[in-house]
Amino acid sequence: MTEQARLYGTVLYELKLPETMIRTCECILRENPQLAQVLESPVIRQSRKETIIDRVFENPDFSRIMRNFLKKVCEAGCMDQMESMVRIRDEKSREAAGILSAKLRYVTEPDAAEVKAMKELLCKTYGKNSVELSMQEDPELIGGFVLQTGDVEYDYSLSGQLRRMFEGNR
């Protein structure tokens, strides 16, 4: 992800556009790769791209602000990073709402009480209101689980314990 994508993702967040508008725009660009190619193309004049944006992203579904944002993204030549911009915008929205994003990899899926306890621990540790936890089965862990949020990883897996044990013997 480039610094430019981070910057435009932050701008997208600060525009406070409706969630449905952003998701619809993201969907249109994803489901119409030819549209994305045209908007990314350095061969096509900016004025032509702006006309296309005005036609595809019309009212009432899209505001003038959204269209102007897309035009600026085209002008900057970073339309191919739109997915990253939306991801940054989503992260900033969650952060502002006091929601922590975390990922749990496991061998045996934890029950509801265990998931609740993990979320409560994370809320308390990071001072957040709630946790958005994505869960993924990972048999390579051999046993246990790995809980990750941001740059912090809590490795309670058997494979992690074995790796640390072998690294300690070197």
The predicted-structure confidence for 39-58, as pLDDT tens digits, reads as follows: 999 999 999 999 999 999 98
- φ and ψ at residue 73, rounded to 5 degrees: -60, -45
156 Cβ contact partners less than 8 Å away, ≥ 6 residues apart: 144, 145, 146, 147
Mean pLDDT over all residues of the chain? 93
Alpha helices in the chain (DSSP H): 3-14, 19-31, 33-40, 46-56, 64-76, 82-96, 112-126, 158-168
The answer to whether residue 88 scores a pLDDT higher than 90 is yes
Could you tell me if 12 and 85 are in contact, meaning their C-beta atoms sit under 8 angstroms apart? Answer: yes
pLDDT per position as a tens digit, 92-129? 999 999 999 999 999 999 999 999 999 999 999 999 99
Please state the pTM of the whole predicted model: 0.77
